[in-house]
Amino acid sequence: MKLVRDTWLVYQRQLLLMARSPVWIAVGLLQPLCYLLLFAPLLTSALAASGAHSTSDAYRIYVPGLLSALALMGGLFTGFTLLGELHAGVIERSRVTPVSRVALLLGRALRETTALLIQSVLIAVLAIPFGLTVGLADLLLAMALLALMALMASSVSYGLALLVPTDAALGPVVNTIAQPLALLSGTLLPIALAPVWLRTAASWNPCYWAVEGMRALFAGHLDAPEVWRGLLLTALLTAVAVAWSARLFAQRIR
Amino acid sequence: MIVTKGLRKSFRPRRGAAAVDAVRGIDLSVAEGEIYGLLGPNGAGKTTTLRMLATLLVPDGGAATVAGADLRAAPGEVRRRIGYVAQGGGTTDQATAREELVLQARMYGVRKAEAVRRAEQGLAAFDLAEFGDRVCKTYSGGQRRRLDLALGVVHRPRVLFLDEPTVGLDPRSRSQVWAEVRRLREQGMTVLLTTHYLDEADALCDRIGIVDNGGIVTEGTPEELKQKISGDSVTIGLPDPAATTGAERALAELPCVQRLEALPGEDGLRLHVDSAATAIPQLLRTLAAVGIEPEHVQLQRPSLDDVFLALTGRALAHSS
């Protein structure tokens, strides 16, 4: 009960701060919009091999990848906001209160998740006039999967920020993790296009299964095995990531 | 209200490096309603001591009771009973003072309506009402510090820890912060603060512990500490080197003179005496008897700086 209350307290504060600096929304939307408008049209012909015969097909393959990349990347880089708060003494001020340590993590990770969901919904809706078609149930489930990915990535990022608590060091660490993770999950182009060895490597990347699930949902295959496999695996990983990060919070931010 | 016994803490600067003792065993006893100051240079172990007592660091050894709760067995209970204001504060630029106060009270488990009421009281008490709804980044250093204090006591703790409460403040804001701290003491709060300002320790604290090298070198009221060393010092200006040598020979014999030395770079002497009031007439009489006419006589009451110098062999102002 205390955990829920404290998480709500932290989450509310984080939302308030987010609403006060709307720059992130503009920046966060602009980049994916550029990809949507300037890059996706190229894909109709490029993706012909994986069965895209129209712009609509191309978007169906591309948009879920873009959203997944957004959730993973956005989440993984959110540790920097925690560094800012650590330097400003905000975290230390919370630490001397009896507030739940896990709530300090969850409230922040859920803020990040909320931000990414708002972005994702906007992008999905904006893609509709360009020919994306997606069912409501599929979209809702896709958003649930995205939320899990964002929660997982931001928990990992907060954990890393506690382990590597300087701006200069955290950047390279996050990049080193994020780049292969994103490439090996086929966020930009489906891994199906890749040679066998790359596909084998990707199958060891749990994020690959999440992205596959996303693509199945946007293709309208609600009952495809990729969907529940992706959801289950991501849920499991999210639980592990949150537990790991929460433990670090409890240890380092006693 | 605060009792510590042999509190210790060491750090490893890097993994595998030799441990550095930050605090080598601090024994403290602070009574209820007292303002106790830990005075010492940067790196002496003041902040580490404070952070251990505020549950932010786990001590390596020793024991402590804070506001009746055992620090090592029940840090959660200590947390509920204390307030802590860090050296750099801890306010969010984009939040208002009122929002910060409400959140802080709620993090201590206070209900929403009550938290709103306490925020209102905090704004009024610390002279923040006028800009309580502006975001913190617009505040001056003094305003921010008063908000830090208001945040530190919004849950009405019995003990308040202040880490360097007036670092970087202009003189007016400083005396305002001092006034707020005295006001809290009058309400019965116990305050433990750290400072490397002698005037702050002198003006604000009921008792002072002088910290150097991870331990308390000595403690007492500011007056006691000043009496502990040297008594007073008297400077006598003389017309020429010959008079200085003559005066040195004549005055060294006097029983009231503890020690004396020539002034560097000018003609004259600096003497340490038990009490300047009784010594000065004797000094003048002795000089008149050997025919030396002093140009001026100056009396200096000892400062805490002298105490620090006498105890550690280093001047506080230069060691930071």
pLDDT tens sequence across B63-80: 999 999 999 999 989 999
Distance from CA of A134 to the nearest CA of B (A): 39
What residues of chain A lie within 8 A of the CB of B91, using their CB?
Answer: 88-90, 93
CA quadruple B51, B52, B53, B54: dihedral sign: positive
Task: Report pLDDT for B106.
Answer: 95
The residue ranking higher by pLDDT, B144 or A43, is: B144
Per-residue pLDDT at A192 exceeds 90:
no
Query: Any chain B CB within 8 A of the CB of A22?
Result: no
Segment B91-101 shows an average pLDDT of 94
Per-residue pLDDT at A4 exceeds 50:
yes
Cα–Cα distance for residue pair A228/A222, rounded to 1 Å: 9
Segment A205-234 shows an average pLDDT of 90
- The residues facing A142 across adjacent strands are none
Segment B30-45 shows an average pLDDT of 90
Residue of A nearest to B148 (CA): A93
Cα–Cα distance for residue pair A172/A138, rounded to 1 Å: 36
Give the H/E segment covering residue B266.
none
Segment A23-30 shows an average pLDDT of 77
Segment A141-166 shows an average pLDDT of 93
For residue B192, with 0-12 CB atoms within 10 Å meaning exposed, 13-18 middle and 19 or more buried, which class applies?
Answer: buried
Distance from CA of B6 to the nearest CA of A (A): 22
Per-residue pLDDT at B292 exceeds 70:
yes
Residue of A93, A100, A108 best to disrupt the B interface, most CBs of B under 10 A: A93
Task: Report pLDDT for A24.
Answer: 74
Query: Any chain A CB within 8 A of the CB of B167?
Result: no
Segment A16-36 shows an average pLDDT of 81
Cα–Cα distance for residue pair A239/A52, rounded to 1 Å: 35
Cα–Cα distance for residue pair B101/B106, rounded to 1 Å: 9
In chain A, alpha helices (H): 2-20, 23-34, 43-46, 55-76, 79-88, 90-95, 101-127, 136-163, 167-183, 196-203, 206-218, 225-252
Residue at A101: amino acid letter: R
Residue of A nearest to B135 (CA): A20
Using pLDDT thresholds of 50, 70 and 90, give the confidence band for residue A39. confident
Task: Report pLDDT for B117.
Answer: 96
For residue A195, with 0-12 CB atoms within 10 Å meaning exposed, 13-18 middle and 19 or more buried, which class applies?
Answer: exposed
Secondary structure (3-state) at A166: coil
Cα–Cα distance for residue pair B36/B55, rounded to 1 Å: 19
Other CB atoms closer than 10 Å to residue B87's CB: what's the count? Answer: 16
Q: Which one, of A86, A87, A89, lies nearest residue B147 by Cα?
A: A89
Using pLDDT thresholds of 50, 70 and 90, give the confidence band for residue B316. low
Cα–Cα distance for residue pair A163/B54, rounded to 1 Å: 23
Instruction: Kindly give, in sequence order, each residue whose CB lies less than 8 Å from that of residue A222, ignoring residues fewer than 6 positions away.
Output: A135, A137, A138, A141
User: Is the Cβ–Cβ distance between A18 and A115 less than 8 Å?
Assistant: yes
Residue of B nearest to A7 (CA): B107
Instruction: Kindly give, in sequence order, each residue whose CB lies less than 8 Å from that of residue B36, ignoring residues fewer than 6 positions away.
Output: B2, B28, B30, B190, B191, B192, B193, B205, B206, B207, B208, B209
- Average pLDDT in chain A: 87
Kindly state the tokens that stand for A72: 């993973």
Cα–Cα distance for residue pair A19/A14, rounded to 1 Å: 9
Segment B114-129 shows an average pLDDT of 94
Using pLDDT thresholds of 50, 70 and 90, give the confidence band for residue A254. low
Per-residue pLDDT at A1 exceeds 90:
no
Segment B147-175 shows an average pLDDT of 92
Other CB atoms closer than 10 Å to residue A79's CB: what's the count? Answer: 30
Q: Which one, of B212, B213, B210, lies nearest residue B202 by Cα?
A: B210
Of B56, B94, B103, the CB nearest to A96: B56
User: Is the Cβ–Cβ distance between A14 and A109 less than 8 Å?
Assistant: no
User: Is the Cβ–Cβ distance between A96 and B56 less than 8 Å?
Assistant: yes
Whether A90 sits inside 8 A of B92 (CB atoms) is: yes
Whether B107 sits inside 8 A of A97 (CB atoms) is: yes
Task: Report pLDDT for B319.
Answer: 42
Segment B26-35 shows an average pLDDT of 94
Using pLDDT thresholds of 50, 70 and 90, give the confidence band for residue B271. confident
Cα–Cα distance for residue pair B96/B86, rounded to 1 Å: 19
Kindly state the tokens that stand for B82: 């204390």
- Average pLDDT in chain B: 88
Task: Report pLDDT for A53.
Answer: 74
Cα–Cα distance for residue pair A32/A29, rounded to 1 Å: 6
Least confident span in B141-150, B185-194, B226-235? B226-235
Segment B44-58 shows an average pLDDT of 91
Task: Report pLDDT for B33.
Answer: 93
User: Is the Cβ–Cβ distance between B56 and B79 less than 8 Å?
Assistant: no
Cα–Cα distance for residue pair A55/A59, rounded to 1 Å: 6
Cα–Cα distance for residue pair B171/B191, rounded to 1 Å: 21
Query: Any chain B CB within 8 A of the CB of A26?
Result: no
High-pLDDT (> 70) share of chain A, % = 98
ipTM over 0.90: no
What residues of chain A lie within 8 A of the CB of B76, using their CB?
Answer: 98
